[in-house]
Each structure stands twice: as C-alpha cells, then as structure tokens.
Amino acid sequence: MDFLYKPWPWYVAGPIIGLTVPSLLLLGNKRLGISSTLRQFCAAWYPANIPLLKYDWKKDSWNLYFVGGILIGGFIGGGLFENPNATELSQNTINDLRSLGLANFHGLLPHELFTWSNLLTWQGFFLMIAGGFMIGFGTRYARGCTSGHGIFGLSSLQWTSLVAIISFFIGGIVCSYFILPIILAS
Amino acid sequence: MQLFYTPYHSGIMKNLKYLFVGIVFGLALTKGEAISWFRMQEMFHFQGFHMYGIFMTAVPIGAIAILLIRKLNIHTFNGEAIDIPKKPYHHGIILGGLIFGFGWALTGACPGPLYAQVGAGYGVTLITLISAVAGTWVYAKLQPRLP
C-alpha cells in the first residue's frame, strides 16, 4: 500500500494521464475534456435562454460520470492515502514561497491560504473566488482547458491547442511572477 | 477494425466505465501532484522538471495512440467509428487562454484538478468550483459581445 501514500513520479503519472486519451476514444468515441462539464452545470441549472447554454446537456452526461470519477480519485489519492510528507519541491520554489510567508508545504494546497476563514478576506477572494471565476470564464472562451487543449488537443496535433496552451502558460507565468506576490503580501 | 466486442448497455451502466476511467485519471492527477498548488508555482517559475515531465510523457503517449487509431482505422469497442473534430481558431483561444492562465496560477488548478481538490478534502475549493461554473455562465452571457 506504500505506493498509494507516496507521490508518483512524473514518469508514472504522465503515461497514465496520456492513456486516458485512447481509453475514452475506444470506450465510446469520447474526447478528453473537462471544462465542458462547467458548461453542463450552467445548462442544467440556469440556462436562462442563453444560446450557448441551450443544448441537450444530458447527451454528454458521460462527462459528469468522468468528473465524478476524478473526484473519487482525488479522495482516494489525496484524502484516504494522503502523502504524509511535505511536497518535494525544488529548493528555489521553497525559498521563494517562504519569502512570501508560506511555511507549510504539506498537502496539495497551502493550508495557510485555502481555508473557509480566509474566503472572505481580499486574499481569499482573489485566490479562490476570482481565481475560480477566471478558470470558468477563460476555459469556455478558449473552448477548452489543460486536458481538452493541453492533453487531447496536442495529442491530436492541433495547432489551435498549441496556441491555447502557450496562452495558458503566459497567463500563468505573468500571474505567478507579478500578481501572486502582491496577493500573498496582503 | 474492431478490437473487442462489448454488449451495448444503456443509462447508468453505459456510463459507469467513464466513472472508472475518471477514478484512474483522478488518482494519477492527485498522486502525480498535478493538482498541487505548490507544483504549479514551481512550474510557472521553471524551477522544477516534474510538471513538464508529466506533459512530456502524457502528450506523446496520447499522440502515438491517436496516430495508431487513425492509421489502423480502429473503431470503438462497440464498432463505432472514432472521429476527432478540428478545433477551429478564434481570438478567444488567446484571450480566454490568458484569463484561464491567471486562474490556474491563483488556484493551482485547472478544471480537472478542481474536482480532484474537492475530492481530496479541501472543502473550500468547492467554492472555487462553483465560482468557475459562474465564470462559464457569465462568458456564455457575454459571448455575443466579445471578440
């Protein structure tokens, strides 16, 4: 059971993630993509006559089972068999984050930041509420996320997906270098 | 070419296989720390190879598999043809991509990892997920007026 507690190296996790692409294609001609489920929730809960949300979301319900599985996978890997040790980050990252005031590198998210009590501070607002909003807005605008463009799109050699993933990274790099330090200092 | 034959199920039974693939995918994301906020900062600062290693193994394996499916004209287990539609370009690919990049760095998550973070017991990320659904809704509402 030790392998379930320990984090997996990239050469174990990466190939499994890659094999998801043919698995979904062979099981039912399904294309890996997760941001579409956010649209499905919108269509199911409050379509409000918006053209993009007026479609038969039930037809794509396989996707909801898939993300339900991701949730269970997260529970098994991050809850039931949580890594008891701190994340083995590069020393540079640890130093950088320490200088921004973080001390606890255990778990998958900083326990100092992602808490209910922090949610209604400006810091928590930007990290969780604004951050989440930009995930939903941006992925729909870009017609896909890291799985749909980054894994599936690149695997099927689509240049649009290469443009998308480069844009994701530019946004992430700018935010991580320049915006995040300001938010963490507040 | 059809590799195997499986009887066609309907409803929940038909979709259960996707739940299973999701569990394996979610487990790999979580144990591979691809849902770790810390790892995302390391990646965006080019300070570690870990996340790049995941992309650099996942994408070629997916690409080889798709190449084989196309070259050998492999069908689904139910005999259905596999089609991979082109993703057309529009300016939202870049503009939306930049916006999503910001959200990715702030939350340490993409949509997939967001579900995994909720499952891993970080309850407050449920708010992040709901906020992401709200973001999608607002995009849909504004779509006619965006470039």
Instruction: Look at residue A59 in the predicted model and tell me its pLDDT.
Output: 87
B46 token code pair: 């080019």
Interface ipTM > 0.90 = yes
Instruction: Look at residue A126 in the predicted model and tell me its pLDDT.
Output: 97
Average pLDDT over residues B69-90: 93
Q: Do B26 and A65 touch (CB under 8 A)?
A: no
A1 and chain B in contact, CB less than 8 A: no
Can you give chain A as a three-state secondary structure string?
Answer: CHHHHCCCCHHHHHHHHHHHHHHHHHHHCCCCCCHHHHHHHHHHHCCCCCHHHCCCHHHHCHHHHHHHHHHHHHHHHHHHCCCCCECCCCHHHHHHHHHCCCCCCECCCCCCCCCCCCCCCHHHHHHHHHHHHHHHHHHHHCCCCHHHHHHHHHHCCCHHHHHHHHHHHHHHHHHHHHHHHHHHHC
Q: Which A residues 25-44 touch B at CB under 8 Å?
A: 25-31, 34-35, 37-39, 41-42
End-to-end Cα distance, chain B: 43
DSSP label at B49? S
Q: Do B45 and A93 touch (CB under 8 A)?
A: yes
What residue spans define the domains of chain B? 1-84, 88-147
Q: Do A172 and B105 touch (CB under 8 A)?
A: yes
- Of B57, B101, B76, the C-alpha closest to B8 is B76
Contact status, residue A38 vs residue A148, Cβ threshold 8 Å: no
Contact status, residue A137 vs residue B136, Cβ threshold 8 Å: yes
Q: Do A93 and B22 touch (CB under 8 A)?
A: no
B9 token code pair: 């199920």
A7 and chain B in contact, CB less than 8 A: yes
- Chain B CB contacts of A21 under 8 Å are 61-62, 65-66
A162 and chain B in contact, CB less than 8 A: no
pLDDT in tens, A81-96: 999 999 999 999 999 9
Instruction: Look at residue B9 in the predicted model and tell me its pLDDT.
Output: 45
Q: Do A96 and B59 touch (CB under 8 A)?
A: no
pTM, 2 dp: 0.94
Question: Residue B31 CB: number of other CB atoms within 10 A?
Answer: 26
Reported as type and span, the H/E element at residue B92 is helix B92-107
pLDDT in tens, A93-150: 999 999 999 999 999 999 999 999 999 999 999 999 999 999 999 999 999 999 999 9
Instruction: Look at residue A60 in the predicted model and tell me its pLDDT.
Output: 87
- Mutation site for B-interface testing, chosen from A45, A49, A137 by largest number of B Cβ within 10 Å: A137
Q: How confident is the model at residue B123 (pLDDT cuts 50, 70, 90)?
A: very high
pLDDT in tens, B1-31: 555 544 444 577 789 999 999 999 999 999 9
CA A24: distance to chain centroid?
19
- Mutation site for A-interface testing, chosen from B1, B3, B21, B90 by largest number of A Cβ within 10 Å: B21
Chains A & B: contacts with CB separation below 8 Å: 525
Bridge partners (DSSP) listed for residue A86? A106
Instruction: Look at residue B1 in the predicted model and tell me its pLDDT.
Output: 52
B62 token code pair: 């997916």
pLDDT in tens, B100-122: 999 999 999 999 999 999 999 99
Instruction: Look at residue B5 in the predicted model and tell me its pLDDT.
Output: 47
Instruction: Look at residue B10 in the predicted model and tell me its pLDDT.
Output: 52
Question: Residue B13 CB: number of other CB atoms within 10 A?
Answer: 10
pLDDT in tens, A1-44: 788 899 999 999 999 999 999 999 999 999 999 999 999 999 99
Half-sphere exposure of A6 (CA within 13 A, CB side): 7
- Tell me: pLDDT of B83 over 80: yes
Instruction: Look at residue B14 in the predicted model and tell me its pLDDT.
Output: 85
CA A67: distance to chain centroid?
12
Q: How far apart (Å, rounded) are the C-alpha atoms in residues B140 and B138?
A: 5
Percent of chain B predicted with pLDDT > 90? 88
